[in-house]
Chain A
Amino acid sequence: MAVERLLVPLSDTVTVRQTVAYAVRSGLEGADSLECHLVVAMPYDADVPESDQYDEDADGLLSRARNWVEEDAGGADVTIETARLGADEYLFGPRDYAEIFDAYADEHGIDRVVLDPEYQPGVTAQLLQPLERELERIGLAYEEAPVERSARRGRLAGGTEDFDRLFATFLISYGFYLVLGDPTYWFDLLTGAAVAGIVALSLAQVTFTVPLDRVQSPLRIVRFAVYVPYLLWEILKANIAVSAVILRPSMPIEPTLTRVNSRVRSGLPLTALANSITLTPGTLTVRANNQQLLVHTLIPAAQEDLFDGGLERGIRFVFYGRDSAAIPSPRERDDAEVVGGDEL
């Protein structure tokens, strides 16, 4: 009995439903029995703190797709396999995706890959053309599902949001260009506008992964400027404390590993907090998952500072405003503890 084995990479697009339908239909045409492998490739940043969200999305998509296949198969002999790929690798470019599909295909004896024309792995821009080229290079048979594309997704709804991103990216790159160049020279003004335009058009979608707010986002920059001197002061204090310890002949270090549950959103705020902690000598962020920071501290004073949560308040001030900054320290709200080395 001939078995056709198909690999269908899924992503959340408008055409994914039609792609699955096509895969089932075409698979059953050629053979009397079909093995349908539905996979979701986890994006390269699935490793970041919001990874749980990605996992949930992927599982939701997979279970929906499984229902679709069952629905389309009718009474035919269809086996469904689902998998999440690449969770422990950094999938970045089309080549990585092609290779991971190829590895999966080898392992499961896949005959053919059915691609969604709108395939969009993760948050990166649409990837299909280069992915096709990479699949050709690797020699994996693929087919693009002939779907009817409805009007491009979300153009109208995302209009102002897209504009905000474009505008912000343009402004940042134009500003940076002029700082490096001469803001009073017409040539720099002109070329800067051209360069910033290209940068904004090509990178606006990847620069900002969360929607911008017209009031809050500029305000955050201002508050960040207030936060920087505070951070510098903390760095100076910590530097002197650590230097004193290092230069003492007895070198009284007390390395500990601590866990702090921070009260900041994942993404940029958490990155800013973890980076501030690492930037301060004496504390070093070893891991960060889901607001939970694993911090290595070198001297007791640094640990005290960490548990007092000064930097955390600073970051909350930058991102949420002054009212949110006044929260209890991690020690007071029982979110900080010293843990052993096997917590790594």
Chain B
Amino acid sequence: MIETIRFWLIAVLLGLGVFFTLVSTIGVIRLPDIYARAHTASQTDTLGAGFALAGVALAFGWEQAAVYTVLLLFFVFITNPTAAHAIARSAAETGVEPLLADEGTDPDETDGPAETDGETT
């Protein structure tokens, strides 16, 4: 009985992981610009990897391997926002204009890429 519940719990967790990864992929394809895409890319790492690793931990049971998966998730959670921020920041630094809702298309700016180190005041 317990084993059946555990099996289905693992299946559900893995399914959720795959689902959020799929959503994130669809998001990357559908969303308009690099900033918006960076949002959805973090979904893969948070819930996608999170559910998948939770399933893995459950499959291993109370063993040391389960501790490893928690550590793995911890490092994913540290590195993912760092990478997302690095991408967004370098996009901003090279002068990529975000598509914003209230202004419709990008406001025309002719200075080209920001040359200063981007101190916004």
Residues of A at the B interface (CB closer than 8 Å) are: 47, 87-88, 179-180, 182, 232, 235-236, 239, 242-243, 246-247, 251, 253-257, 259, 274-287, 289, 292, 294, 296, 298, 338, 340-344
Q: Which of A47, A239, A275, A343 contacts B81 (CB under 8 A)? A: A275
Can you name 30 A-B residue pairings with CB atoms under 8 Å?
A182-B64, A232-B50, A239-B47, A242-B43, A251-B31, A253-B32, A255-B33, A256-B101, A257-B100, A275-B81, A278-B84, A279-B80, A281-B46, A284-B38, A284-B39, A284-B85, A285-B81, A286-B89, A287-B89, A287-B120, A289-B120, A292-B120, A296-B35, A296-B36, A340-B107, A341-B98, A341-B109, A343-B120, A344-B92, A344-B98
Q: Please name all residues of chain B whose beta carbon is closer than 8 Å to the beta carbon of A232 when the two chains form the complex.
A: 50
- A278 B42 Cβ-Cβ under 8 A: yes
Q: Please name all residues of chain B whose beta carbon is closer than 8 Å to the beta carbon of A276 when the two chains form the complex.
A: 81
Known contacts: A287-B92, A341-B100, A344-B118. The answer to whether A246 contacts B46 by CB under 8 A is no
Complex: how many Å from CA A274 to CA B64?
32
B3 contacts chain A at the CB level, 8 A cutoff: no
- The tally of residues in B whose CB lies under 8 Å from a CB in A reads 49
Q: Which A-B residue pairs are the 4 nearest by beta carbons?
A: A278-B81, A254-B101, A275-B81, A246-B27
Q: Please name all residues of chain B whose beta carbon is closer than 8 Å to the beta carbon of A182 when the two chains form the complex.
A: 64
- B46 A279 Cβ-Cβ under 8 A: yes
- A242 B27 Cβ-Cβ under 8 A: yes
Instruction: State the main secondary structure of chain B at its contact with A.
Output: helix
- A275 B85 Cβ-Cβ under 8 A: yes
Complex: how many Å from CA A344 to CA B71?
35
Q: Given contact pairs A179-B71, A284-B85, enumerate 17 new A-B contacts (beta carbons under 8 Å).
A: A179-B67, A235-B47, A239-B20, A243-B43, A246-B23, A246-B31, A254-B101, A255-B98, A278-B42, A278-B80, A287-B89, A287-B92, A296-B88, A298-B36, A340-B100, A340-B107, A344-B92
Residues of B at the A interface (CB closer than 8 Å) are: 20, 23, 26-27, 30-33, 35-36, 38-40, 42-43, 46-47, 50, 64, 67-68, 71, 77-78, 80-82, 84-85, 88-89, 91-92, 95, 97-103, 106-107, 109, 114, 117-120
Known contacts: A275-B82, A344-B120. The answer to whether A281 contacts B98 by CB under 8 A is no
Q: Please name all residues of chain B whose beta carbon is closer than 8 Å to the beta carbon of A286 when the two chains form the complex.
A: 35, 85, 88-89, 91-92
Q: Please name all residues of chain B whose beta carbon is closer than 8 Å to the beta carbon of A275 when the two chains form the complex.
A: 78, 81-82, 85
Q: Please name all residues of chain A whose beta carbon is closer than 8 Å to the beta carbon of B23 when the two chains form the complex.
A: 243, 246-247
Complex: how many Å from CA A29 to CA B120?
48
Q: Please name all residues of chain B whose beta carbon is closer than 8 Å to the beta carbon of A242 when the two chains form the complex.
A: 27, 39-40, 43
Instruction: State the main secondary structure of chain A at its contact with B.
Output: mixed
Q: Please name all residues of chain B whose beta carbon is closer than 8 Å to the beta carbon of A342 when the two chains form the complex.
A: 107, 109
Q: Please name all residues of chain B whose beta carbon is closer than 8 Å to the beta carbon of A341 when the two chains form the complex.
A: 97-98, 100, 103, 106-107, 109
- A281 B43 Cβ-Cβ under 8 A: yes
